[in-house]
A and B are shown apart, each in its own frame.
Chain A
């Protein structure tokens, strides 16, 4: 079966399931907004935020809520053993991975649409001074984080301690992505926007994406074969 067709089927199914339950989008959004608000109470004093806190808080909110979404997305496939039905279907198994990854990316895009303006507002951060560059940084960073996360969440779906193991395995490997995202976003928030620096970090994120997605596509089938 055509790779793209399989990806589309899986994404459409995940969107439809989420549209019916709204379970992951609500919990993930609530968690991300709560995370930003808690930091705002800590880092904003008499209306003046701590300098340079915004990029770190933005990426922490994305990483934490992303972990929550990854866990739930695969828990859903585990509860009804539908992952087995996907694995026995006559499709390229890497296409199943890409479909699940695309679903997670859609979900995190929704989270970012809400969280980015909130961070900009609460931390007086001029995040939209270079909107295209910011969007590229967010897209590349989220892809790198979700690429590793989707692979690990799928691998751990049958592990008893999957909720604990997922962040333990995921964060050390995605630290370079989060650092690049934070540094690239910070370059956009300087009084004199440092576009070359932001572009350099963006290039690094794209490199991480290529490496992580390639490795995940290569290892998904053997890792998922029980």
Chain B
């Protein structure tokens, strides 16, 4: 039975790659029904943080707990409750949308596969292209499909890396509504984005990663973009990211 955790807690998580330190003593607590936006400049460690949260990467030091569970012991059962949309879309371009979703539905051993896929394609506005190869799709169409792939198994922890990339206005609005719905449904949602205006007002909290260090954007006043710029100006010097 898959565990249904209600919080994720990172304690002093550090992750290094050789001499480069991607995350430095990151501590974070995310509760059910909370949408957290993570912002920061390129190379700040945002995607590494997402990979650590998704159990794809093990921290070099520190601890991650999904309620009382750790990724080392819970393994597949824990992964069944995590949905990840990476910067790369994790889709097979030679396959059709329906075939991609069917493959992942099989891996997650989902029931009502036919209905789930039909609903997912409807939401992605790809029902009429269900049998075309994904290779012929635009970035926005792939992005919508990849989002449905990540959410197909109704995950508890939803991790999205730049989910607004390539989306037109209508699709971006639909995604905002979807994220709000996930939050209302008790999911733990983490969104990495550079699109500050889009997540402003949607996220419960905004966190900034700078050279692997995490800070809350609470102290600054004004819009998320203004707070982000102010925090960036006060950030520590570049040497902080090296061991």
A residues sitting closer than 8 Å to B (CB atoms) are 1, 5-6, 9, 13, 16-17, 20-21, 80-82, 84-92, 225-226
Q: Within the complex, which residue of B2, B51, B90 is in contact with A82, where a contact is CB–CB below 8 Å?
A: B90
Q: Within the complex, which residue of B79, B95, B103, B133 is in contact with A88, where a contact is CB–CB below 8 Å?
A: B79
Q: Within the complex, which residue of B2, B57, B86, B106 is in contact with A226, where a contact is CB–CB below 8 Å?
A: B57
Task: Identify the closest chain B residue to A19 (Cβ).
Answer: B94
Could you tell me if B56 and A226 are in contact, using CB atoms closer than 8 angstroms?
yes
A88 CB contacts on chain B under 8 angstroms: 54-56, 79, 82, 84
Q: Within the complex, which residue of A1, A13, A84, A225 is in contact with B92, where a contact is CB–CB below 8 Å?
A: A13
Q: What separation, in Å, do the CA atoms of A164 and B61 have in the docked complex?
A: 33
B103 CB contacts on chain A under 8 angstroms: 9, 13
User: Mind listing 14 A-B residue pairs with CB under 8 Å?
Assistant: A5-B106, A16-B99, A17-B94, A20-B95, A80-B89, A80-B92, A81-B89, A82-B90, A85-B84, A88-B54, A88-B79, A88-B82, A90-B76, A90-B108
Could you tell me if B107 and A82 are in contact, using CB atoms closer than 8 angstroms?
no
Known: A17-B94, A88-B79. 5 other contacts (CB 8 A): A80-B91, A81-B86, A81-B90, A88-B84, A226-B51
Q: What separation, in Å, do the CA atoms of A13 and B149 have in the docked complex?
A: 16
Task: Identify the closest chain B residue to A6 (Cβ).
Answer: B107
B106 CB contacts on chain A under 8 angstroms: 5, 9
- B77: interface (CB < 8 Å): yes
Taking CB atoms and an 8 Å cut-off, the chain B residues in 11-56 that contact chain A are: 51, 54-56
A81 CB contacts on chain B under 8 angstroms: 86, 88-90
A226 CB contacts on chain B under 8 angstroms: 51, 56-58
- Interface of chain B, main secondary structure: loop
Taking CB atoms and an 8 Å cut-off, the chain B residues in 66-90 that contact chain A are: 76-80, 82, 84, 86, 88-90
A6 CB contacts on chain B under 8 angstroms: 107
User: Shortest Cβ distance from A25 into chain B, in angstroms?
Assistant: 13
Could you tell me if B94 and A21 are in contact, using CB atoms closer than 8 angstroms?
yes
Q: What separation, in Å, do the CA atoms of A125 and B103 have in the docked complex?
A: 44
Q: What separation, in Å, do the CA atoms of A20 and B95 have in the docked complex?
A: 8
A86 CB contacts on chain B under 8 angstroms: 107
Task: Identify the closest chain B residue to A86 (Cβ).
Answer: B107
Q: What separation, in Å, do the CA atoms of A87 and B108 have in the docked complex?
A: 12
- B104: interface (CB < 8 Å): yes
Could you tell me if A80 and B107 are in contact, using CB atoms closer than 8 angstroms?
no
- B93: interface (CB < 8 Å): yes
- B109: interface (CB < 8 Å): yes
Q: What separation, in Å, do the CA atoms of A90 and B88 have in the docked complex?
A: 20
Could you tell me if A85 and B90 are in contact, using CB atoms closer than 8 angstroms?
yes
Q: Within the complex, which residue of B2, B56, B94, B95 is in contact with A87, where a contact is CB–CB below 8 Å?
A: B56
B89 CB contacts on chain A under 8 angstroms: 80-81
Q: Within the complex, which residue of B58, B78, B90 is in contact with A84, where a contact is CB–CB below 8 Å?
A: B90
Task: Identify the closest chain A residue to B103 (Cβ).
Answer: A13
Task: Identify the closest chain B residue to A20 (Cβ).
Answer: B94
Task: Identify the closest chain A residue to B89 (Cβ).
Answer: A80
A1 CB contacts on chain B under 8 angstroms: 76, 107, 109
Could you tell me if B108 and A17 are in contact, using CB atoms closer than 8 angstroms?
no
Q: What separation, in Å, do the CA atoms of A122 and B77 have in the docked complex?
A: 55
Q: What separation, in Å, do the CA atoms of A22 and B51 have in the docked complex?
A: 33
Q: What separation, in Å, do the CA atoms of A82 and B91 have in the docked complex?
A: 6
Q: What separation, in Å, do the CA atoms of A85 and B55 have in the docked complex?
A: 12
Known: A1-B76, A225-B58. A80 touches B104 (CB 8 A): no
B92 CB contacts on chain A under 8 angstroms: 13, 17, 80, 82
User: Shortest Cβ distance from A158 into chain B, in angstroms?
Assistant: 11
B80 CB contacts on chain A under 8 angstroms: 90
B76 CB contacts on chain A under 8 angstroms: 1, 90-92
Name the residue in A6, A85, A91 with the highest tally of chain B Cβ atoms < 10 Å from its Cβ: A85
User: Shortest Cβ distance from B150 into chain A, in angstroms?
Assistant: 9
Q: Within the complex, which residue of B2, B94, B99 is in contact with A90, where a contact is CB–CB below 8 Å?
A: B2
User: Shortest Cβ distance from A96 into chain B, in angstroms?
Assistant: 9
Q: What separation, in Å, do the CA atoms of A34 and B64 have in the docked complex?
A: 53
Q: Shortest 5 CB-CB distances between A and B: which pairs? A: A90-B80, A81-B88, A85-B90, A90-B76, A89-B107
Task: Identify the closest chain B residue to A83 (Cβ).
Answer: B90
A13 CB contacts on chain B under 8 angstroms: 92, 95, 103
